[in-house]
Amino acid sequence: MANTILITGASAGIGKATVKLFQQKGWNVVATMRKPDEEQELTQLDNVLVTRLDVTDEASIKSAVNETVARFGGIDVLVNNAGYGAIGPMEAFAIENVRRQFDTNVIGLIATTQAVLPHMRAAKSGTIVNISSIGGKVTFPLMSLYHGTKFAVEGLTESLKFELDAIGVKTKIVEPGAIKTDFYSRSMDISNDESMQEYQPTVQAMTNAMQGQNNHGSAPEVVAEVIWNAATDGTPALRYPVGAGAAHFIDNRKMADDETHMNGVKEQMGL
């Protein structure tokens, strides 16, 4: 019997590439997204179930998990990939946008994991793969909300590993660097109030730095391959950096004190 993987945020980018890879490897794949009616490519693939799952809607999470178990008999791997980035001065964000950022990237990840774990606990096996970012280890200007969520994913996943090791479930964190996806166009919530003049030099510097970012990134298929390794290598390894400069950024941050790191970022951004 083929293994089964459930992937959130599968409509594009890393999620979609991961669906295709696992399907090619002979797995049953559940590709979840907020608007499955708009998906045309993945619905044509054998052993791929495209269904609705909005990580901010608990009923949709439970429905997708139940549909998966009914269709394929269980869930061997969960990939928590759904997410987006809130970018801009923190002061400029309405509190409802702050909540949306954490509800999607953190609370939604927890809720989906909670829905899947009873099945893995009963089977005494399975793997949870949480998609973090180098932004869970390294910070940049105007990304305090996004970094807050990814630092949270790093901490909760590391702690969760203690719990899940005891029940036979593996826990993994994949940390992409710059990736060539449409994240910057479709998965960002940008907030800026130009009347807050003090922030504008930083906003302009960050805007300049982000332009053309995708041109220097790795393809999402590269991340999909690392997700495959994390899900199937059978090792106790926890973290998997991937993509252009990811390991370099993380290693440099480990070695640098706070002042050195922040001065380096400022110099890089022209601040």
List the beta strands (DSSP E) in the chain: 4-7, 28-33, 48-52, 77-80, 85-87, 127-131, 170-176, 188-190, 239-242
The class (CATH top level) of 4-269 is alpha beta
How confident is the model at residue 85, as a pLDDT? 92
One of 11, 20, 132, 180 is an active-site residue; which one?
132
Could you confirm whether 150 is annotated as catalytic? yes
One of 16, 20, 137, 150 is an active-site residue; which one?
150
Who contacts 116 (Cβ-Cβ below 8 Å, separation ≥6)?
6, 65, 75, 78, 126, 128
pLDDT classification of 92: cutoffs 50, 70, 90: very high
Domain layout of the chain by residue ranges: 4-269
Who contacts 263 (Cβ-Cβ below 8 Å, separation ≥6)?
none
- CA–CA gap between residue 14 and residue 31 (Å, rounded): 12
Q: Lay out the sheet containing 48-52: strands in order across.
A: 48-52, 28-33, 4-7, 77-80, 127-131, 170-176, 239-242
Kindly report, residue by residue over 56-85, the tens digit of the pLDDT.
999 999 999 999 999 999 999 999 999 999
One of 16, 20, 137, 146 is an active-site residue; which one?
146
Instruction: Report percent pLDDT > 70 for the chain.
Output: 95
Tell which wins on pLDDT, 82 or 270.
Answer: 82
How confident is the model at residue 215, as a pLDDT? 59
How confident is the model at residue 52, as a pLDDT? 98
Could you confirm whether 125 is annotated as catalytic? no
How confident is the model at residue 208, as a pLDDT? 77
List the beta strands (DSSP E) in 1-139: 4-7, 28-33, 48-52, 77-80, 85-87, 127-131
The pTM score is 0.93
The token pair that represents 238 in the structure block: 């926890």
pLDDT classification of 132: cutoffs 50, 70, 90: very high
The token pair that represents 114 in the structure block: 């909670």
CB 17 within 8 A of CB 221: yes
Asked if the model's pLDDT at residue 217 lies above 90, the reply is no
Mean pLDDT, the chain, rounded, equals 92
- CA–CA gap between residue 55 and residue 130 (Å, rounded): 13
Could you confirm whether 60 is annotated as catalytic? no
